[in-house]
Structure 1
């Protein structure tokens, strides 16, 4: 199972559209995960129409239209692994322990909010992934998203993709 992970797209505030490399990856993904802060419903409509399976949540910048269509926390069984998706996990310090306590029984938690890529594993075995943002790098050197695969009941081939700078 091939996964494409993204968060914090903030369209059309930070960019007018999703980057071409990310859009090109949609047809190759069995599951697309978006960890919130869409800002516009058009991006949700686009991902729903182009994804085989979409697992997504709303973020703190998402208004009533998105909140009516998306949960605050989403859960999905993907290839035998239990995934959770949430926008906000709090400060980096103590994140692994806090998330392991809040989300017992999960194998993988995908989150966003900070725009800072993150890939760690809690002592309980919970894998925490933040794909960063494909449209708003903030203080990061690159805009980013992630891909991964689930094979044999394991998360493998987790790759952080750096996007080329946008032309202005």
Structure 2
């Protein structure tokens, strides 16, 4: 099972549209995780129209229309792995222990907010993934998103994709 992870798209404030490379990946994904800060409902509509399954949450920049359609925390079980999605996890220092305590029944937590790619494993095995942002790199060298596969109860082939400058 192929998964695509994205967050912090901030459309149309930071970019007019999603990058072509990310759009081309959507039909190949069995599940797309979006960890919030969509900003517009058009992006959610686009993903729901083009993707087999979207698991998303609202972020701090998302207004009432998105909050009416999305939860603050979402959960999905894929191939024997328990995933959670949340926008904000707090400061980087202590993140692993804090998230492991808050989400003790998860195998993978997808999060956003910082626009900084992150891939660590907490004591106890919780994998924390932040795919960065495909549209707003902030202080990062590249805009980014992630892909991975779920097979045999394992998360495999986690790749951070760097997008070309716009």
TM-score using structure 2 length: 1.00
1:99 aligns with 2:124: no
SS of the equivalent of 1:132 reads: coil
1:90 aligns with 2:90: yes
Show the 5 A alignment for 1:145-160: 145-160=145-160
SS of the equivalent of 2:124 reads: coil
TM-score using structure 1 length: 0.98
SS of the equivalent of 1:99 reads: helix
Distance 2:28 2:48 in 1: 15
**Matched residue, 1:116:** 116
| CA displacement 1:117-153 (0-9 Å, x = unmatched) | 0000001100000000000000000000000000100
Question: What number of residue pairs does the alignment pair up?
Answer: 166
**Matched residue, 2:38:** 38
Distance 2:79 2:36 in 1: 23
Deviating beyond 3 angstroms after TM superposition, the runs of 4 or more aligned structure 1 residues are: none
Distance 2:149 2:142 in 1: 23
SS of the equivalent of 2:161 reads: strand
Q: How far 1:83 moved relative to its partner?
A: 0.1
